[in-house]
Amino acid sequence: MKIVIAPDSFKGNLTAREVADAIEVGIRRIMPDVEIVKVPMADGGEGTVQALVDATSGEIITAEVTDPLGNRINAVFGILGNREPKTAVIEMASASGLPLVPLDKRNPMITTTYGTGELILKALDIGCKRLIIGIGGSATVDGGAGVAQALGIRLIDKDGNDIPRGGGGLKYLDRIDISGIDQRLKETEIIVACDVDNPLVGPRGASAVFGPQKGATPEMVEQLDMFLDRYADIIKRDLAVDVKYAPGAGAAGGLGAGLMAFFKAQLKSGIDIVISASGLENSLKDADLVITGEGKIDRQTIYGKTPIGVAKSAKKYGLPVIAFAGNINTDSNVVYENGIDGLMSIISHPMTLETAMERSKELLADASERAFRLVKLGMNFKLID
């Protein structure tokens, strides 16, 4: 029997690799000799770098970059193991994420994605020809202007000067000069993990939908939407690329638009990117059972989350799927219609969240043991006509 374990992380608690290891412990209590293949997963958001590095035996690289407020910080990205062309995986939140900005300093008029551009530059410096970029959790609404500036593109005001960083700087944009772009980008494939379809502007745009969570006041939301609208017009005029209403252009405060416009990036589902990069389907071809999971399973799980992505891949090969979770909501039954055959909570009795997180590895192993006692029973059970 071959079992593939392909979970997401339990956010803020365990990495996907740690979740998989704990599940394996429980399985081996019941089936010590079973073949187990562990493929840590993610959906393009937090944990994607670690999951893909773990899944491919890659490495983590640390780089000093600019944070959203202009300070110097250490950020990380990953290099996938045994992949050609050499591939980097970047979480923009590592350099330009909301948690990097104190609550009282959140202001998308001044926050920048410049540090994410510096991470891309570092990846190019070590020979990467393919970039996977997760763009969730940003602190910015600058349309990817900071990334562009870090990579040699000039965003110029009417006096010939570079515009200020941050969403507010777009107010002064007069023209775009791409002659200084890092030439290595012309030979680099950029794939963006993006699970939203918001346009750049309008009532579902980057500013209106995502601006308030990044500290934008109602007045700022209106101004930033106006700046982004004009930014899109200038991109169309100078680069002949129309991003204003492109699906996903509004992701990460408009970073989706910037990556498409300046670097011809492809926006794809995060979980699909991770499944491809991790080689999950190669492991599924001769498997008998698939285990997945994440911290919380509810109705939202069916919208691009790891367990459903794994389940859909498993169903290509007719495989049963069990999902583990710390929290299984009352609306979670919808996952049964989307490829998951069984759910198992790791919580065995009433306890606080703090206790559950402290004991999460133990709880996962115990839940896995309970699940596989049932699996073993099922393997021996004979139906009576």
Q: Report pLDDT for 383.
A: 57
The percentage of the chain sitting over the pLDDT mark of 90, rounded to a whole number, equals: 92
Residue range 15-25, pLDDT digits in tens: 999 999 999 99
Let me know: does 248 contact 198? Beta carbons within 8 Å: yes
- For residue 85, cis peptide bond before it (omega within 30 degrees of 0): yes
Query: Which are the contacts of 17, defined by CB distance < 8 A and separation ≥ 6?
Result: 38, 40, 50, 51, 54
> 61 pLDDT exceeds 60?
yes
Residue range 141-152, pLDDT digits in tens: 999 999 999 999
pTM for this structure?
0.89
Q: Report pLDDT for 211.
A: 96
Residue range 293-309, pLDDT digits in tens: 999 999 999 988 999 99
Domains and their CATH numbers in the chain: 2-39+279-380 (3.40.50.10350), 48-270 (3.90.1510.10)
Return the structure tokens found at 24. Answer: 């394996």
Q: For residue 328, name the pLDDT band (cuts at 50, 70, 90).
A: very high
The percentage of the chain sitting over the pLDDT mark of 70, rounded to a whole number, equals: 99
DSSP string, 204-237: TSIIIIITGGGT--HHHHHHHHHHHHHHHHHHHH
Residue range 241-285, pLDDT digits in tens: 999 999 999 999 999 999 999 999 999 999 999 999 999 999 999
Q: For residue 382, name the pLDDT band (cuts at 50, 70, 90).
A: low
The residue ranges of DSSP E strands in 19-135, in sequence order, are 35-38, 59-66, 72-79, 87-91, 130-134
Query: Which are the contacts of 273, defined by CB distance < 8 A and separation ≥ 6?
Result: 44, 132, 191, 193
